[in-house]
Amino acid sequence: MNTGGGSSVGRASGLHPEGRRFDPCPLHQVDNMADDLEKAITHVILQILLEAKAQGKDMLTFEEILDLMGMDDKSLMTKFERESMFVLNKDMLDKLDDPDVIEAMVESLGKLKH
Average pLDDT, the chain: 76
* C-alpha dihedral, 105 to 108 to 110 to 114, nearest 10°: -160
What confidence score (pLDDT) does residue 18 get? 58
What confidence score (pLDDT) does residue 2 get? 47
pTM over 0.85: no
- The type of residue at 77 is M
d(CA 107, CA 89): 19
- Of residues 39 and 28, more confidence is placed in 39
Lowest mean pLDDT among 14-18, 76-80, 103-107: 14-18
